[in-house]
Structure 1
Amino acid sequence: RLFWRNCAYIYALTMPELPEVDAARQLVMQHCGGKVIDQVLCVESGGGPRDGQFDDIVIGEGVTPEKLTKSMKGRKLVAVHRKGKQLWFELGGGDLSPLFHFGMTGSFTVKGVKALKYKEFLVRDEVWPPRFTKLELVFTGGVRLAFTDPRRLGRVKLRAAPVTEPPISLLAPDPVTGPFHCEAFSQILRKAQTPIKAVLLDQERAVCGVGNWVADEVLFQSGIYPGTTAAQLTDAQVETLHATIIRVCKEACQAQADSDRFPLDWLFHYRWGHGKSADRLPDGRRIAFETCAGRTTAWVPEAQKASSAKGGRAPSAPRTDGRLGKKEAAPRGRGQKRHRAEGDTTPAPEKAEKPAASAEARRGRAAPVPKARPVKAPATAPTPAAAPATGPAVKRG
């Protein structure tokens, strides 16, 4: 905790998705658009553990500091484009364009401009350059732009034709920039035998840019249980989901991903407690949590009902702590195992008690039969204090 408290990022718990990346696009275009890149500083700065080093993981694919500098220095930033979670610069007078993917904690910061607000982490811009700065660009007029990434899961690449080359060429349609047609979306879902949330998270399948919180939001607003098999959705559900994806993404982009400007009835505002009993919507409906498509999933059972008869996995009854669908663990101890039925929150059935097994029985061998021994008669009569075995039981007070 002390380490993260002292660095440039404070973690709350949302990695950059379509709205966050679009907010970064707007930020860069607003403050750097039309300006020429005077300097390219591509060694880490800001005082992090790799300060002064070139990060060949974030800036990979064999790109060297010299190549990166040559590809950008002296060129004008004509436009900033985005598709899904990918962002790239259109630079005038050259062959290569820088392409950015933010991973989990990547972000752009402009010196002197309030840093973008994320739910899962905060970029501290009180000092410059910010900690974990992987790349800093200095534009005409002294405008400075930093790309930061503490977890090193973001990527900076160079592409001659970003739109027609991977990874952008592999992406599914973008719901904001389009074209994102309902019929094509529906055809993909009809063939998908996986949970609808898994389909939405696959950037190359039906739609791109949708991450964990956006997927949960659009499914909540569409009234669809996240674990429902995609192929089992009705035509009406698909149409509703398609329209909701477009609307939610556009509204979030218009708000520049600032959650304070999101509509108050969005699930986003109430989903971050991860199972506390107080996790409810303002109208009292409980927010439940489970793992779906490998991600922690927030949903509202009263609004997102599922039926196994329709092909989706029917959810279990809500747990008392606000979580749902997790495997409920029976009390641990001898003779008891974790109850592993998916979505079953009932405790494991009690097992009948068994007599303690001998050491030989536990090793898989039969216990030896004791040999009969002759009983010797006592030399003298038993004393009165020794009660016979068949005598009445003594009640101990």
Structure 2
Amino acid sequence: MPELPEVEVTRLSFADRIAGAAIEGVRLGKPLRWPLGCSPDSLVGQHVLAVRRRGKYLLLDLERGLLLVHLGMSGSLSFTLNPPEAGKHDHFELRTAQGVLRLHDPRRFGAVVFATHEADPVAQKLLGKLGMEPLGADFDAKRFHLGLAKRKSPIKQVLLAGEVVVGVGNIYASEVLFLSGIRPSTPASRLSRPRAARLHQAIRDVLARAVERGGSTLRDFSNAQGEAGHFQLDAMVYARAGLACKVCANPIRAMRQGQRSTFFCAQCQKP
């Protein structure tokens, strides 16, 4: 599933190229997770002003409204001048004077949703409960600790929930907890302010490095230019069960938390 770094890498790979483009046509394939919410023809003639990101959502600002794009479990975007004929898994296409933005999504858990503005109830239903942006200026260490202190669930589950900080998905949750020396099963409310501060910095560091490395390509992720990511090659614990820890040489362990695989080092990460 594309996580925040993959979504940010995707944004960076086409945002500048589509900015200012006039929309010439919209093609819909099979239904996605949620309906578009407007007539496709109402988008024709508008210009794409900019592309932003909020958590795992891409926001395409238009002259009148915005499009919220979510990649779901298996989605990816491409932006090319002359794309091949749409395939059976290409379910949304925005044709512009500067290229064609296409959503490819075999499992159809992704979505493209129109909202009149960011305060629109349609947009707020998707964005309203999202936590602080981990790569943004508002990701404050004190607020982060206060948010964790109110939650008794295991820290990894709190990170995945996205209500304290948004976008720390399964891959990166394992990595940031390793870097900060925190066992994934530790209740979030038990973290002292110094431990929460280390976790806060680890989140910033790991996600920024993942963006620099082009995200993680575990199956078929690629950015809008078709380029794969390489962060998975740097992983300290994720998907390394049974292999030696790169720090202490003890074997990396795996366990299930909320139906997701968690990887950790029992020696380096303390409860």
User: Given the two structures, how large is their TM-score scaled by the length of structure 1?
Assistant: 0.60
Instruction: Measure, in 2, the Cα distance between the counterparts of 1:73 and 1:110.
Output: 18
Moved more, 18-27 or 258-267: 258-267
Q: CA deviation at 1:137?
A: 1.3
For residues 302-335 of structure 1, give each alpha carbon's deviation from its aligned partner in whole angstroms, at most 9, with x where no partner exists: 21132xxxxxxxxxxxxxxxxxxxxxxxxxxxxx
**1:98 aligns to 2:81 (yes or no):** no
Asked if structure 1 preserves the Cα contact closer than 8 Å seen for 2:46 and 2:62, the reply is: yes
Residue in structure 2 matched with residue 162 of structure 1 by the alignment: 118
TM alignment of 1:102-141, pairs within 5 A: 102-111=71-80, 127-141=84-98
Asked if structure 2 preserves the Cα contact closer than 8 Å seen for 1:111 and 1:128, the reply is: no
TM alignment of 1:175-194, pairs within 5 A: 175-194=134-153
Instruction: Measure, in 1, the Cα distance between the counterparts of 2:264 and 2:119.
Output: 35
Instruction: Measure, in 1, the Cα distance between the counterparts of 2:233 and 2:89.
Output: 34
Instruction: Measure, in 2, the Cα distance between the counterparts of 1:286 and 1:29.
Output: 42
Q: CA deviation at 1:145?
A: 1.4
Moved more, 163-172 or 226-235: 163-172
Q: CA deviation at 1:253?
A: 2.0
Residue in structure 1 matched with residue 23 of structure 2 by the alignment: 37
Instruction: Measure, in 2, the Cα distance between the counterparts of 1:60 and 1:101.
Output: 12
**1:147 aligns to 2:103 (yes or no):** yes
Residue in structure 1 matched with residue 198 of structure 2 by the alignment: 240
Instruction: Measure, in 1, the Cα distance between the counterparts of 2:132 and 2:159.
Output: 11
Letter aligned with residue 129 of structure 1: A
SS in structure 2 opposite 1:301? coil
For residues 349-382 of structure 1, give each alpha carbon's deviation from its aligned partner in whole angstroms, at most 9, with x where no partner exists: xxxxxxxxxxxxxxxxxxxxxxxxxxxxxxxxxx
SS in structure 1 opposite 2:146? helix
Larger Rg: 1
For residues 271-321 of structure 1, give each alpha carbon's deviation from its aligned partner in whole angstroms, at most 9, with x where no partner exists: 335x4x4x2344533211001233110111221132xxxxxxxxxxxxxxx
> Which residue, out of 32, 47, 69, partners 2:41?
69
Which aligned runs of 4 or more in structure 1 are off by greater than 4 angstroms?
258-261
Residue in structure 2 matched with residue 286 of structure 1 by the alignment: 251
SS in structure 1 opposite 2:125? coil
Whose relative contact order is higher, 1 or 2, with alpha carbons under 8 Å and at least 6 apart? 2
Question: 1:176 and 1:189, CA in 2 relative to 1: closer, same or farther beyond 3 A?
Answer: same
Structure 2 stretches lacking a partner, 5+ long: 218-228
Asked if structure 1 preserves the Cα contact closer than 8 Å seen for 2:24 and 2:97, the reply is: yes
Residue in structure 1 matched with residue 133 of structure 2 by the alignment: 174
Question: 1:28 and 1:163, CA in 2 relative to 1: closer, same or farther beyond 3 A?
Answer: farther
Question: 1:130 and 1:112, CA in 2 relative to 1: closer, same or farther beyond 3 A?
Answer: farther
SS in structure 1 opposite 2:67? strand
TM alignment of 1:254-333, pairs within 5 A: 254-257=212-215, 261-262=230-231, 266-267=235-236, 271-272=238-239, 275=241, 277=242, 279-282=243-246, 284-306=249-271
Asked if structure 1 preserves the Cα contact closer than 8 Å seen for 2:238 and 2:262, the reply is: no
Residue in structure 1 matched with residue 223 of structure 2 by the alignment: none
Instruction: Measure, in 1, the Cα distance between the counterparts of 2:87 and 2:52.
Output: 24
Residue in structure 1 matched with residue 8 of structure 2 by the alignment: 22
Q: CA deviation at 1:258?
A: 5.3
Instruction: Measure, in 2, the Cα distance between the counterparts of 1:285 and 1:189.
Output: 29
Question: 1:150 and 1:27, CA in 2 relative to 1: closer, same or farther beyond 3 A?
Answer: same
Letter aligned with residue 68 of structure 1: P
Structure 1 stretches lacking a partner, 5+ long: 1-14, 45-53, 114-124, 307-397
Asked if structure 2 preserves the Cα contact closer than 8 Å seen for 1:195 and 1:293, the reply is: no
For residues 226-262 of structure 1, give each alpha carbon's deviation from its aligned partner in whole angstroms, at most 9, with x where no partner exists: 0001111122110000111112112222333256654
For residues 180-221 of structure 1, give each alpha carbon's deviation from its aligned partner in whole angstroms, at most 9, with x where no partner exists: 111111111112111001110112x21001110111110011
Q: CA deviation at 1:133?
A: 0.7
Asked if structure 2 preserves the Cα contact closer than 8 Å seen for 1:222 and 1:241, the reply is: yes
Residue in structure 1 matched with residue 60 of structure 2 by the alignment: 89
Letter aligned with residue 48 of structure 2: L
Question: 1:209 and 1:178, CA in 2 relative to 1: closer, same or farther beyond 3 A?
Answer: farther
Instruction: Measure, in 1, the Cα distance between the counterparts of 2:58 and 2:126.
Output: 11
SS in structure 1 opposite 2:262? strand
SS in structure 2 opposite 1:166? helix
Q: CA deviation at 1:131?
A: 4.2
Residue in structure 1 matched with residue 224 of structure 2 by the alignment: none
Instruction: Measure, in 1, the Cα distance between the counterparts of 2:34 and 2:96.
Output: 20
Instruction: Measure, in 1, the Cα distance between the counterparts of 2:150 and 2:59.
Output: 32
Instruction: Measure, in 2, the Cα distance between the counterparts of 1:178 and 1:163.
Output: 21
SS in structure 1 opposite 2:267? coil
Asked if structure 1 preserves the Cα contact closer than 8 Å seen for 2:216 and 2:232, the reply is: no
User: Given the two structures, how large is their TM-score scaled by the length of structure 2?
Assistant: 0.85
